[in-house]
Amino acid sequence: MPSVLIADDAAFMRMMGYEIAGEAENGAVAVAKYKELKPDLTTMDITMPEMDGLQALKEIRSADPSARVVMCSAMGQQSMVIESIQAGAKDFIVKPFQPDRVLEAIQKALS
């Protein structure tokens, strides 16, 4: 069963069929947890305290170029989404989450 690290400063919905490897409330914790847990996939909120998701994505990808990260963004963060994809994110999900879209993005990133 693929493991997922969830980096989001808000409570995240549980995804059926995936082991939640860990949770991080900000980007700095996400980077540390990624290195510790080596999850199959990380979901990363763009807007978080201490270190934003974009910086965390860059740090994770520099530590592990094969890292699979799916970014989560609110409406109106298009420029951040483009920058995330350029920095190596596999996909992005827009909040409020639509479960079908979340599963599609995760399955795509893991394939």
Express each pLDDT in 68-105 by its tens digit: 999 998 877 788 889 999 999 999 998 888 888 888 99
- If one counts the domains in the chain, the total is 1
Query: Do residues 20 and 47 make contact, with C-beta atoms less than 8 angstroms apart?
Result: no
Q: Does the pTM exceed 0.75?
A: yes
pLDDT of residue 63: 97
CATH number, domain of 53, equals: 3.40.50.2300
Summarised one tens digit per residue, pLDDT across range 4-62 is 999 887 766 566 678 889 999 999 999 999 999 999 999 999 988 899 999 999 999 99
pLDDT of residue 78: 81
Domain that includes residue 104, residue range: 3-110
